[in-house]
Amino acid sequence: MRFWVLVVGGLLVWAGHFLGLYLLSSAADVARRDAGAWTGAGMVFSLACLFAVAGLFIYAVARVRTGPVDETRAFGFSLAATGAVLGGIGVVFQTLVLLAPA
Amino acid sequence: MSSDQGRDSETGFDTELYNRLPTTEPRPDGELAQLEEVWCGPRKPWEWITAINNNYIGVYYVGAAMLFFVLAGVLALLMRTQLAMPMTGFLAQETYNQIFTMHGTVMMFLFAVPAVEALGVLLLPQMLGARDLPFPRLSAYAFWAYLIGGLCFFASLFFGLAPNGGWYMYPPLTSMTYSPGINADFWLLGIGFIEISAIAGAIEIIVGVLKTRAPGMTLDKMPIFAWAMLIFACMIVIAFPSIILSTLLLELERALGWPFFDAAKGGDPMLWQHLFWFFGHPEVYIIFLPAAGAMSTLIPAVAQTKLVGYRMVVLAMLATGFISFGVWAHHMFTTGMPTISINYFSAASMAVSVPAGVQVFAWIATLAAGKMRFNTPGLFAVGGLVIFVMGGLTGVMVAMVPFDWQAHDSYFIVAHLHYVLIGGMVFPLFAAIYYWTPMSSRRPLSERWGKWIFWLMFIGHNVTFMPMHLTGLMGMPRRVYTYLPDRGWDLPNMISTVGSFMFGLAVVLWMIDMIRNFRPFGDRIAGNVFGGPGLEWLPSGRYSLRSIPVIKSLYPLWDQPDLARNVPAGRYFLPGAPRGERETIVTSPINAEPQYLQRMPRPSSWYVWGAIFTAGFFLILTIQAYAVAVISGVLAIYCILQWCWGLDRPSGPATVDIGAGVRLPTYVSGPSSHGWWAMVITLIVAGMVAIMACFSYVFLWSRRPDLWAPPPELSSLPLTLGLLVAAGIGGWAAQRALKLDRPRSARIAAVLMLAATLAAGGAWAAEAWAWWGSGLRPDASSQGATVYALLAWQGLFVGIAVLMGPFALLRWLFGHLSPRWPATFEVIALFLAFTAVQGAATSLLVRLFPGVGA
């Protein structure tokens, strides 16, 4: 299971980030007050997600470099590293929505 | 079997043993004859119905899906005839409404998903080097349920009873007020039921891809089509529960007046849209991914070179799977959602084009790197690529909110979705049919006819749908049965109609080609006419490959040329049927290391009758003959129990030599076993339904918190929770007791299991009693509706558990329970644990949120 979580880790963080931002915006809509605080919460959450994908990327790259790993593990780690990069870009892209003027 | 070189091993299997293969000794006399006898095909007429081998069920499945494609295509031609000119009276308005609803519904639910699932059932065993998928009876059950349900559903059209609310069935249009007939019920019960069949197929595919790959076929050597099918099936598991829940809720509202979507009582039609599109948009990628997997498989064969960027394509498919769940609300940009939410979905909708683009570039690069051959699969692949890219570009346009506001519900959207679906699924499917027909037919399809069919279809598609972009931008709305003259819509509509008949002609020619050349189920096949590199092109029989090879390459036939000689000669694993039964090797999910030998079932009739009565239950409910429906349901349960009765009864030696002196166990339980995996996936499906139901509860509260009544006194909660804990622990203790292997283990385990299931039943009764006592009624408000819906869902699991308890006891009484065979008890315990957790979580939610007296 750890292998699978690592392989799709970056994408999982992206999904969690998307869901988190959506829930925060929905909660803000229900609460109908202090929009700035909700935006701030979204930014903090996004930063945490960025740290998570960065950590994942560093771990996956380190595992490939420090080896020895078999071909299948190397394949998994490279998927994990690339997925983390993709997840990171996705997190930044989604966070831009928070920064855009309403 | 274990060795200390297993540092990189997943299971401890010594992969050095692979070096003993291929074997060199002569194979024993009669080995092949025995294998053929064990895997023999139907010999009597009824056996064609009860067949379970993927070579039969796969062909039936693809055939049925294509039948529905043709039927839905005929409906499209009827619509285009009506719209060819303004103010035509070819179809009445109501008939048109039924036809456009059925066209979309049949194409999406009865053609697209089943077709790609069918392709998986047909191809995966040979492609992975397995004898068959791990649950062949489940495949057969899913197929018959789908075929019977689908045909009855389609037949509703002939009685004027077909649904007429669009394939998305938005309430309040589909509520009892505006759709008082049973048309909508046909959709809700029929589609909900057919989706259960799709989920059964998905479970089969996930376990099949992860657990029945040929030894050595590690994840980095797994065929790209298998990756696509794996991701596709996982997406079904996550997405389809949402449509099952939404159809259940709307049917409950229609039948019993529970107001989930009725704004007057706190319901909200927007809930339907969220639930429907959480399924509906991933559905597009659900049907695209297997088709893309097929493209990534056949393009290398067409270009005679390896796929460029295999790793990136795998990642792109994974990313598509994830991101596709973040775009559902882009169908709801005009519904008045908060701006910031819309912006999130808009951003995700643009982002999802990136992984799709990666795959497109990989295909183009592969074609450029190799030597493109313009045979029929190649033409369909390239044609599909062009059309899909065009649809993708308009997709990015409608992902931009201001543009979507203009184009929403216009013919521009009709054009966009057909470019995406036909380019992304239909053309690749035809490419796949032309490419893989020689694998299961004595003759390939005609190349000459194929090229005519391709060009007619390609031109016909563009002539039909290209003008629709303009018709839409000129303001023509979707779903109208006619239009006034002099709006500039006449000419583009006439062109679209001409194009649609060209497309139809192509399909007719394809059918004739199939009748002329498709000859399945014989002893000979046409073989590898396109020079493909996959295992499916090795000589095979009903048993799939004669022997199961050790895989060392992603392109085994190109890189391991000796396979073509040694596999049919029986020089690899499992060259015969060592126990005289149908068997396949189960391997580990990552490294595909052999784990055990799975005994596979022989045909019987219980799953066919089970499918017939299950379909009968849902369809008879539609016409409100409740007593007959209940009888059908009881018969379905009886058939399924009979089917289960024969499970988990091992026989023969504990280990078997599968070739080259490698011995494998013939029975395992727990996380290594395929049954355990299937139960876990089933529970994930159930958990998703529960999660979506909890979302519905919170969503409806957020719409009308003023209508929320206080929950029952908290003093009644500990009883519910206590009984649920007892149920979970009791189930776990029962399987532990069985494994202790003491003289009275089996008896204690059976009694404990029965007690655990009764505890689960008690917990449910206590919770239901508490809510009923609180005075809240399900038809009073959205709170009542969702609380009782959650109770009903939990009640379904308790009902199954209550069936499982006596089932476990009967197994003990009949001597089918042994400490050496704990698999049945393990999966029942798993089910009970899930039931307990689900019951506790939903009870806590509805009791504690939004707080007493909120």
> Which tens digit of pLDDT belongs to each residue from B622-664?
888 999 999 999 999 999 999 988 888 877 888 999 998 999 9
The residue of A5, A13, A14 whose CB has the most chain B CBs within 10 angstroms, and thus the best one to mutate to test that interface, is A14
Angstrom distance (rounded) from CA B471 to CA B456: 23
Angstrom distance (rounded) from CA B575 to CA B569: 8
CB-count exposure of residue A67 (10 Å: 0-12, 13-18, 19+): exposed
Contact of A32 with B619, CB cutoff 8 Å? no
Q: By the CB < 8 Å criterion, does B759 face chain A? A: no
Say which of B8, B220, B340 has its CB closest to residue A97.
B340
* pLDDT reported for residue B753: 95
What residue ranges do the domains of chain A occupy? 2-99
Considering the domain architecture, whether residues B588 and B711 belong to the same structural domain is answered as no
In the stretch 235-274 of chain B, residues with CB closer than 8 A to chain A read: none
Residue B299 within any structural domain of the chain: no
Question: B315, A100: Cβ pair inside 8 Å?
Answer: no
Residue B819 within any structural domain of the chain: yes
Angstrom distance (rounded) from CA B344 to CA A10: 19
Considering the domain architecture, whether residues B646 and B698 belong to the same structural domain is answered as no
Last residue of a domain, one of B667, B691, B721: B667
Single pTM value for the model: 0.95
Question: A82, B8: Cβ pair inside 8 Å?
Answer: no
Q: What is the mean predicted confidence (pLDDT) over B725-733?
A: 96
Q: By the CB < 8 Å criterion, does B335 face chain A? A: no
- H or E element that contains B655: strand B655-657
Q: By the CB < 8 Å criterion, does A100 face chain B? A: yes
Q: By the CB < 8 Å criterion, does A1 face chain B? A: no
Computed from CA positions of residues B711, B712, B718, B719, in that sequence, does the dihedral angle turn out positive or negative?
A: negative
Residue B126 within any structural domain of the chain: yes
Last residue of a domain, one of B667, B684, B709: B667
Q: By the CB < 8 Å criterion, does B695 face chain A? A: no
Check pLDDT > 70 for residue B609.
yes
Q: By the CB < 8 Å criterion, does B351 face chain A? A: yes
φ and ψ at residue B16, rounded to 5 degrees: -60, -25
* pLDDT reported for residue B549: 95
* pLDDT reported for residue B741: 85
Angstrom distance (rounded) from CA B271 to CA B280: 14
Considering the domain architecture, whether residues B662 and B675 belong to the same structural domain is answered as no
Considering the domain architecture, whether residues B92 and B105 belong to the same structural domain is answered as yes
pLDDT > 70 fraction of chain B, expressed in percent and rounded: 99
| Percentages (nearest 5) of helix, strand, coil residues in chain B | 70, 5, 30
* pLDDT reported for residue B646: 85
φ and ψ at residue B599, rounded to 5 degrees: -80, 125
Computed from CA positions of residues B141, B144, B147, B153, in that sequence, does the dihedral angle turn out positive or negative?
A: negative
Q: What is the total count of domains within chain B? A: 2
Check pLDDT > 70 for residue B534.
yes
Q: What is the mean predicted confidence (pLDDT) over B783-804?
A: 96
Considering the domain architecture, whether residues B623 and B707 belong to the same structural domain is answered as no
Chain A residues within an 8 Å CB radius of B9: none
Residue B531 within any structural domain of the chain: no
* pLDDT reported for residue B529: 92
Q: What is the mean predicted confidence (pLDDT) over B365-379?
A: 93
User: Across the A/B interface, how many CB contacts are shorter than 8 Å?
Assistant: 81
Last residue of a domain, one of B667, B698, B717: B667
Question: B8, A73: Cβ pair inside 8 Å?
Answer: yes
Computed from CA positions of residues B835, B838, B844, B850, in that sequence, does the dihedral angle turn out positive or negative?
A: negative
The per-residue pLDDT of chain B, averaged, comes to: 93
- Which region among B180-189, B386-395, B416-425 has the lowest average model confidence (pLDDT)? B180-189
Angstrom distance (rounded) from CA B542 to CA A53: 47
Residue type, B486: D
Question: B322, A94: Cβ pair inside 8 Å?
Answer: no
Chain B residues within an 8 Å CB radius of A24: none
In the stretch 35-64 of chain A, residues with CB closer than 8 A to chain B read: none
Which tokens sit at B280? 């509906």
CA distance A56 to chain B (A): 16
Task: Reply yes or no: is the peptide bond before residue B172 cis, omega within 30 of 0.
Answer: yes
- H or E element that contains B657: strand B655-657
The per-residue pLDDT for range B494-526, each reduced to its tens digit, is 999 999 999 999 999 999 999 999 999 988 889
Q: How confident is the model at residue A101 (pLDDT cuts 50, 70, 90)?
A: low
Which tokens sit at B432? 């796949």
Q: By the CB < 8 Å criterion, does A66 face chain B? A: no
Q: What is the largest CA-CA distance in chain A?
A: 55
- Which of A81, A32, A35, A86 has its CA nearest to residue A60? A81
Considering the domain architecture, whether residues B116 and B169 belong to the same structural domain is answered as yes
- H or E element that contains B599: strand B594-599
Considering the domain architecture, whether residues B567 and B678 belong to the same structural domain is answered as no
Chain B residues within an 8 Å CB radius of A18: 326, 344, 348
- Which region among B7-16, B167-176, B607-616 has the lowest average model confidence (pLDDT)? B7-16
Q: What is the mean predicted confidence (pLDDT) over B791-808?
A: 94
Q: Which residues contact B469 (CB under 8 A, 6 or more apart)?
A: B394, B411, B412, B415, B416
What would the 3-class secondary structure string for B435-479 be? HHHHHHCCCCCCHHHHHHHHHHHHHHHHHHHHHHHHHHHCCCECC
CA distance A60 to chain B (A): 15
- Which of B290, B274, B287 has its CA nearest to residue B327? B274
CB-count exposure of residue B151 (10 Å: 0-12, 13-18, 19+): middle
CATH of the domain at B588: 1.20.210.10
Computed from CA positions of residues B549, B550, B554, B558, in that sequence, does the dihedral angle turn out positive or negative?
A: negative
* pLDDT reported for residue B7: 47
Chain B residues within an 8 Å CB radius of A102: 339-340
DSSP code of B548?
B
Residue B297 within any structural domain of the chain: no
In the stretch 77-96 of chain A, residues with CB closer than 8 A to chain B read: 78-79, 82-83, 86, 90, 93-94, 96
CATH of the domain at B772: 1.20.120.80
Check pLDDT > 70 for residue B6.
no
Question: B219, A21: Cβ pair inside 8 Å?
Answer: no
Which tokens sit at B64? 């049925």
Q: By the CB < 8 Å criterion, does B681 face chain A? A: no
Angstrom distance (rounded) from CA B430 to CA B384: 9
The per-residue pLDDT for range B71-128, each reduced to its tens digit, is 999 999 999 999 999 999 999 999 999 999 999 999 999 999 999 999 999 999 999 9
Torsion angle of C-alpha atoms B55, B59, B62, B66, degrees rounded to 10: 170
Angstrom distance (rounded) from CA B198 to CA B17: 39
Q: Which residues contact B673 (CB under 8 A, 6 or more apart)?
A: B586, B596, B823
Check pLDDT > 60 for residue B337.
yes
Question: A96, B591: Cβ pair inside 8 Å?
Answer: no
Q: Specify the 3-state DSSP secondary structure of B13.
A: strand
- H or E element that contains B584: strand B583-587
Residue B584 within any structural domain of the chain: yes
Q: By the CB < 8 Å criterion, does B343 face chain A? A: yes
The per-residue pLDDT for range B360-371, each reduced to its tens digit, is 999 999 999 998
CA distance B339 to chain A (A): 8
Contact of B287 with B113, CB cutoff 8 Å? yes
Residue B190 within any structural domain of the chain: yes
CA distance B681 to chain A (A): 14
Q: By the CB < 8 Å criterion, does B854 face chain A? A: no
Check pLDDT > 70 for residue B2.
no
Domain of residue B542, residue span: 31-285+538-667
Say which of B8, B338, B702 has its CB closest to residue A25.
B338
Q: How confident is the model at residue B530 (pLDDT cuts 50, 70, 90)?
A: very high
Say which of A29, A90, A98 has its CB closest to residue B351.
A90
* pLDDT reported for residue B3: 38
Question: A11, B322: Cβ pair inside 8 Å?
Answer: yes
The per-residue pLDDT for range B557-601, each reduced to its tens digit, is 999 999 999 999 999 999 999 888 999 999 999 999 999 999 999
* pLDDT reported for residue A102: 58
Question: B591, A93: Cβ pair inside 8 Å?
Answer: no
- How would you classify residue B711: left for phi > 0, otherwise alpha for psi between -120 and 50, otherwise beta? beta
> Chain A residue with minimal CA distance to B326?
A18
Q: Which residues contact B728 (CB under 8 A, 6 or more apart)?
A: B756, B832, B833, B835, B836, B837
Q: How confident is the model at residue B853 (pLDDT cuts 50, 70, 90)?
A: very low
Q: Give, in order, the Cα–Cα distances in Å from B775 to each of A4, B264, B649, B781.
A: 48, 20, 49, 12
Check pLDDT > 90 for residue B386.
yes
Q: By the CB < 8 Å criterion, does A20 face chain B? A: no
Considering the domain architecture, whether residues B104 and B250 belong to the same structural domain is answered as yes
Considering the domain architecture, whether residues B634 and B680 belong to the same structural domain is answered as no
Check pLDDT > 70 for residue B5.
no
